[in-house]
Amino acid sequence: MTREPANKRYDQRYFDRWYRNPETRVIRPGDVERKARLAVAAAEYLLGRPVRSVLDVGAGEGSWRRALRAIRPRLRYTGVDPSEYAVRRFGKRRGIRLGTFDTLDELGLGGPFDLVVCVGVMNYLGTRELERGLESIAAMLAGVAFLEIWTTADDIVGDRQGWHDHPPSYYRRLARKVGLVPCGLHCYAAPAIAHNVAALERAEG
């Protein structure tokens, strides 16, 4: 069974601090809804049809589930998170199962997924974990992956415990290696629909 990292506990206190406490939270009211609208629109633009399925990697307490279903009420939502607290409390009701970024290929998630969401995860992972997880995402992705990643070129605030600092070129190389095509605003097109991304839509540096 996959478990949360030994050096970090994603328990209720963690979510209270970073997601609910007005003085320390990094997610403002409306942030998830705004990002969900962007991610769904990008996926539907490239797919040419409504989003039907979503994989949320690092789902936490499942805040994206509500935001996504407000847009597409019938979509199939699957969440994965390493937090035993979140899965125990919300897993059954919100469709979240225990797992980590680098064990996606072991969880029997099915797919393909029209949209894969991964927010607040990738900056805390080592290269091996990133490579394995990105390979799985590329293999399961039919449309767009919304991968929120920050680099040494960005000014960020929030939880820095276990944070890995890398330049933009590092993440571009990893995405390119698995065939994900960056198309701006944290969005990456699946290899199967990369031909739908016009040259000037590609956010390659």
Q: What is the pLDDT of residues 63-107, one digit of tens each?
A: 999 999 999 999 999 999 999 999 999 999 999 999 999 999 999
pLDDT (0 to 100) of residue 20: 73
- 3 vs 16, more confident: 16
Residue 143 and residue 190 in contact, taking contact as beta carbons nearer than 8 Å: yes
Residue 55 and residue 116 in contact, taking contact as beta carbons nearer than 8 Å: yes
Q: What is the pLDDT of residues 133-171, one digit of tens each?
A: 999 999 999 999 999 999 999 998 777 778 899 999 999
Q: Is a pLDDT exceeding 90 seen at residue 17?
A: no
Backbone angles phi, psi at 165, to 5 degrees: -90, 125
| pTM assigned to the model | 0.90
Q: Is a pLDDT exceeding 70 seen at residue 4?
A: no
Q: How many C-beta neighbours within 10 Å does residue 44 have?
A: 18
CATH architecture of the domain with range 12-201: 3-Layer(aba) Sandwich (3.40)
pLDDT (0 to 100) of residue 203: 85
Q: What is the mean pLDDT of the chain?
A: 91
* Band of residue 1 on the pLDDT scale cut at 50, 70, 90: very low
